[in-house]
Structure 1
């Protein structure tokens, strides 16, 4: 996927011909049903799609995948529901019926809407919003202001009225009349494997995921941050013989070890070209805040506003060196280790081990004793927990575990209407958890959240992809007992064991993770004029989601350390997203001149 790729899936009906004629001026490619009517329409890379056929059936894979045209033809003939490795959309036309699915993780999403009385599917919600003229749903947009993240299933919605998002792991079927049906195709594997067996499975899944991305040849950009996730991918990619250009950032804070660990790893990667940036060699964080975007806004606000200008500069350097794809370790933190809530599940199987681990986490993170006990013993149903969360949206955030995850909070500058809208959505949501077990629910939710964030990275001019977000990699991690993947006394034990023998032992000994807090604060301070302009003319205020005075005080606070960082960054992302939508009512990716430039 990249910033110029999009597609629509049309049902095999006469009614869909009108829709096809409306979008035809924006289309680069089109593939027909066996009937000759349009089936797939849009713009895509030729090497990112494969199509197989058998009599009246068609099957297409779009993305990064292991399937061949012969595989797709065989599956089409049998109307199979295969699960090829990679990160992809799988779309079928089966004797008049259309079937569409994306990934479980959310890296490849599916949206659908009624257009002229028939259901049309797309890989981008914004395409359907543009096609139907759908207005924004302020309530769903307000949900995305909740931090640290909206709970399942509220984060898995589209922010336009009448546009629906397919839940990760679900499949959409559209019959010839245009009627739609949704059902689950993905089931979480049982967590049965001990560490050794699980590490072997994860190693094989990561090797396959990286090889899928290197098999096209050419030059690959690799993030070499110094962290264990991106470093592991660098060694796996080098193992395939790919030509690599690595990227390392040196942060300014005293004691930050990221670059030192990256240097240690690079010493074992002699064939790689390195790009190493010092603190003053890239645009500061938040550069461009307040300026109009380029029309590439995606389906929802992003958290990338902090580093967009910085990453654009890096991408241009990589493109100048012939890089065709960039790989990063995004998602590794959230996929290879379970959230600490697994101790709730473990207590039912092994009380002594659960209590020992819970006490270890409590000592490490300073959890209050009462909160730890509540988390271990809680039996609150998920729907009741959601209802209870609606009453604490404006309470101070907590630093200790809760039964089904951290209860969402709204920013202190959120309007009363925004808080009320989110509370109402929480109260009327009748949802089952992703798994009956608390820890399993948290693992799946965490994987899907980072998958959706990873999807946003694939929309850049130079695609940044992460093998950690592939379904097969996530499944390999989920098959491992949670207590083997996370511990208060070990750092990413599953990944360390999986990489043993592929990554030098010296590199696998890191047990810390650093941050770029110094650059965060200094970047915001440099952007005070732009922040002041945002505060005076905020679209969030106009939409009734934010109160002007509290927002102004936060953006212009002389003591930024007293302002909650994540909600501030999310708010800026929302503001810039709304401004880009207003400035570009027709998405840039629909314009053929944009597609020609992107390729």
Structure 2
């Protein structure tokens, strides 16, 4: 379902192939069956990450950098990169400091930097780093879709220039870790309906983790329409406005 007449969304795992006079859709990926519980799947994921990072480190003859925010994703990549290198002085850790005094990511990043010595650790001053939405009309080349960090494109260009000046040809970051490993909060609605006790435990956990009001989060999950129903209402509203 889409807000546009005659335009249909592709099903998950499908792609659109355009020929000279024909367009076809077909499945290109099927998610593997969830055969392993988390306790068994976690070591497999760890081994795959270690292999992937080590392979990229070995293939790079130039200095390599890792975006170390201080969070779990970037910390994991930084440690795996350090583990893969016999000479950690080739590793450059890059941390963008926050202007908020309540943000403790820098503290954790500095701890990781000390642990990975003699890797070099560069902390970018928040006052000298472009702000979000700076120079937004300038497009980011080389992307096949608007990336999630488009609002901070000026920061991306600033970092790329800094790394290029240092001879870095390979840069790793944890972008996408949350998208792969954390389900969106929308799953709570379905879980509360199908498995109320499990859904309630997850609801309380998310409220505590994000410092949300449990009552407000519960009201939002229960009262808001499902995504298909919301999209249908949005499409109907757009058609009504277009007709007016």
TM-score, scaled relative to structure 1: 0.33
Cα distance, 1:421 vs structure 2 = 6.2
Task: Decide which of 135, 139, 148 is 1:288's aligned counterpart.
Answer: 135
* 1:325 lines up with 2:170 in the alignment: yes
Q: Which residue of 2 is the match for residue 402 of structure 1?
A: none
Q: Which residue of 1 is the match for residue 68 of structure 2?
A: 224
* 1:238 lines up with 2:85 in the alignment: no
Q: Which residue of 2 is the match for residue 206 of structure 1?
A: 49
Contact 1:362/1:372, CA 8 A, preserved across alignment: no
Matches of 2:134 and 2:171 in 1, distance apart? 22
Matches of 1:182 and 1:345 in 2, distance apart? 29
Contact 1:225/1:262, CA 8 A, preserved across alignment: yes
Contact 2:189/2:222, CA 8 A, preserved across alignment: no
Matches of 2:140 and 2:221 in 1, distance apart? 46
Cα distance, 1:167 vs structure 2 = 6.9
Matches of 2:171 and 2:188 in 1, distance apart? 36
Matches of 2:183 and 2:241 in 1, distance apart? 28
Matches of 1:329 and 1:198 in 2, distance apart? 20
Matches of 2:17 and 2:150 in 1, distance apart? 36
Contact 1:245/1:318, CA 8 A, preserved across alignment: no
Tell me which protein shows more helix as a share of its residues.
Answer: 2
Higher-Rg structure is 1
Superposition pairs for residues 335-374 of structure 1, below 5 Å?
Answer: 335-347=180-192, 350-361=195-206, 364-366=211-213, 367-368=215-216, 369-374=218-223
Contact 1:246/1:273, CA 8 A, preserved across alignment: yes
Q: Secondary structure at the match of 2:59?
A: coil
Matches of 2:230 and 2:139 in 1, distance apart? 41
Task: Decide which of 2, 27, 38 is 1:184's aligned counterpart.
Answer: 27
Task: Decide which of 108, 111, 122 is 1:275's aligned counterpart.
Answer: 122
Cα distance, 1:299 vs structure 2 = 5.5
Contact 2:132/2:151, CA 8 A, preserved across alignment: yes
Question: Deviation string for 1:381-410 (max 9, x for gaps)?
Answer: x6444212446x7xxxxxxxxxxxxxxxxx
* 1:193 lines up with 2:36 in the alignment: yes
Cα distance, 1:314 vs structure 2 = 2.3
What count of residue pairs does the alignment treat as equivalent? 231
Q: Secondary structure at the match of 2:171?
A: strand
Task: Check 1:221–1:347 CA distance in 2 against 1; reply closer, same or farther (3 A cut).
Answer: same
Task: Check 1:325–1:306 CA distance in 2 against 1; reply closer, same or farther (3 A cut).
Answer: same
Cα distance, 1:233 vs structure 2 = 0.7
Contact 1:221/1:246, CA 8 A, preserved across alignment: yes
Superposition pairs for residues 2-401 of structure 1, below 5 Å?
Answer: 169-171=13-15, 179-218=22-61, 219-241=63-85, 243-288=90-135, 293=138, 296=141, 304=149, 306-347=151-192, 350-361=195-206, 364-366=211-213, 367-368=215-216, 369-374=218-223, 383-390=228-235
Matches of 1:250 and 1:371 in 2, distance apart? 34
Q: CA RMSD in A?
A: 3.8
Matches of 1:202 and 1:295 in 2, distance apart? 31
Task: Check 1:192–1:322 CA distance in 2 against 1; reply closer, same or farther (3 A cut).
Answer: same
Task: Check 1:306–1:387 CA distance in 2 against 1; reply closer, same or farther (3 A cut).
Answer: closer
Gaps of 5+ in 1: 1-151, 158-163, 394-419, 425-599
Q: Which residue of 2 is the match for residue 519 of structure 1?
A: none
Cα distance, 1:181 vs structure 2 = 2.6
Q: Secondary structure at the match of 2:160?
A: helix
Gaps of 5+ in 2: none
Question: Deviation string for 1:349-370 (max 9, x for gaps)?
Answer: 6432223333444565224354
Contact 1:390/1:423, CA 8 A, preserved across alignment: no
Matches of 1:184 and 1:153 in 2, distance apart? 20
Cα distance, 1:220 vs structure 2 = 1.6
